[in-house]
Amino acid sequence: MGSQFEISVVGNDRLWAEERITIAVNEINRVEKLLSTFSDSSKINEINRNAGIAPVRVNAEIFWLIDRSLKIAELTYGTFDITYYSADAQNDTDTNTVLAACSTYQNVVLDASAMTVFLKEKGMRIGFAANSKGYAADRAKYVLQTQGVSSGVINAGGDLLTWGLQPTNEQWTVGAADPEQSRQPYAGLEIGNMCLATSVNAEKLTDNNKEYFNIVNLKKGFPVSEIASVSVLSPTAELSDAMANPLMAIGVNAGMYLINKLNQIACVIIDDHNRIYTSKGINITA
């Protein structure tokens, strides 16, 4: 998944806590292996190899993860999409261009009764780079709770998933979310039993003293400059993680409109003029 996980649990016995954390780490490793495309024997690779050929039967975990991913893709009008195109060995540019256009979430066919996944077009692939980190964090939280851990925090590459209360019996809160920490727009924002995932436009590339951002508008093909960061708050890391980049791509107005239509999800957007926008249900205390 390419992300560092930090797990903190609340407890009175250090050895007991470390044993539970080890169980959670094992679960994260299991999810990484489950969703890997590096192993020839993985179900994800089997689905990809059979693109345009035949449906592939999968277990319930993979099936419903794909199903949720397709729902998010539909919700974001394809801005979030687990499908991509892999060019064939013939390297026919015209053919590849057509096939690449066919590589869309709308060409993934799920059969719940048979528990099968079918990619309709040859060359189509699916991958979970955009939401595997969040799903792994959710699974780690689940196993920790089943092991009796009543409170904790999982930091999945900067995305914070919490449950329970702090040792002081206070809610978990975000102290600062600005990557440069020159401002503290999220100080006082409670994130108890929620996940806060943040996507940031890092000003790393320059060309003739002109600044660019590293998040690309997937539809138009040019860097997005209107938004500096997006933070999404929802009950699951999978959803928060999956929604952050699409909101970055679709812009402030469309992003706020989308989030305000939904339940149990909120966001904070900072634009490139340092203006802060909050969806319904969020009050910022600086």
| Tens-place pLDDT, residues 7-48 | 999 999 999 999 999 999 999 999 999 998 888 889 999 999
Residue ending a domain, among 68, 95, 126, is: 126
Mean pLDDT of the chain: 85
| Among 268, 238, 267, 256, residue whose Cα is nearest residue 71 | 238
Same domain, 86 and 178: no
Which of these, 251, 246, 244, 245, lies nearest to 226 by C-alpha position?
251
Assess if residue 16 is contained within a domain: no
| Long-range Cβ contacts of 215-219 (<8 Å, 24+ apart) | 215/245, 215/248, 215/249, 216/249, 217/249, 218/79, 218/249, 219/79, 219/249
179/116 same-domain check: no
146 domain residue, yes or no: no
Share above pLDDT 90 across residues of the chain, in percent, rounded to a whole number:
66
- Mutual orientation of helices 132-146 and 14-34 as an angle, nearest 10°? 140
**Residue 153, strand partner residues:** 8, 162
Higher pLDDT, 198 or 222: 198
pLDDT tier, 89 (very low <50, low <70, confident <90, very high otherwise): very low
* Full residue range of the structural domain in which residue 203 is found: 171-278
Would residue 20 count as lying in a domain?
Answer: no
The answer as to whether 94 is a domain residue is: yes
Residue-wise pLDDT for 108-143, tens only, equals: 999 999 999 999 999 999 999 999 999 999 999 999
Q: Are residues 111 and 179 in the same domain?
A: no
pTM: 0.84
**The pLDDT value given to residue 121:** 93
How high is the pLDDT of residue 95?
A: 52
Over residues 167-179, mean pLDDT: 76
What confidence score (pLDDT) does residue 177 get? 53
What is d(CA 109, CA 211) in angstroms, rounded to the nearest whole number?
Answer: 41
Give the model's pLDDT for residue 136: 97
Q: How far is 100 from 104, CA to CA, in rounded Å?
A: 8
Is pLDDT at 5 greater than 70 in this prediction?
yes
Confirm whether 91 is domain-assigned.
yes
How many CA atoms, within 13 angstroms, populate the side-chain half-sphere of residue 88?
Answer: 15
**Residue 158 within any structural domain of the chain:** no
Side chain identity at residue 238, one-letter code: E
Do residues 86 and 181 both lie within one domain?
A: no
* CATH of residue 82: 1.10.3980.10
Mark whether 271 and 181 lie in a shared domain: yes
The answer to whether position 3 is within a domain reads: no
Out of 64, 93, 126, a domain closes at 126
Half-sphere exposure of 94 (CA within 13 A, CB side): 0
Task: Work out how many domains the chain is built from and give that number.
Answer: 2
pLDDT for 220 beyond 80: no
Q: pLDDT for 46-65, tens place per residue?
A: 999 999 999 999 999 999 99
Examine the fold and report which residue of 99, 126, 153 is the final residue of a domain before the chain moves on.
126
Pair 271, 215 in one domain: yes
Percent of the chain with pLDDT over 70: 80
| Banded pLDDT at 239 (limits 50, 70, 90) | very high
Do β-strands 152-156 and 5-9 pair in parallel, antiparallel, or remain unpaired? antiparallel
- Structural domain includes residue 72: yes
What's the rounded Cα separation, in Å, for the pair 211 and 70? 34
Residue 217: CB atoms within 10 Å: 17
CATH of the domain at 251: 3.10.520.10
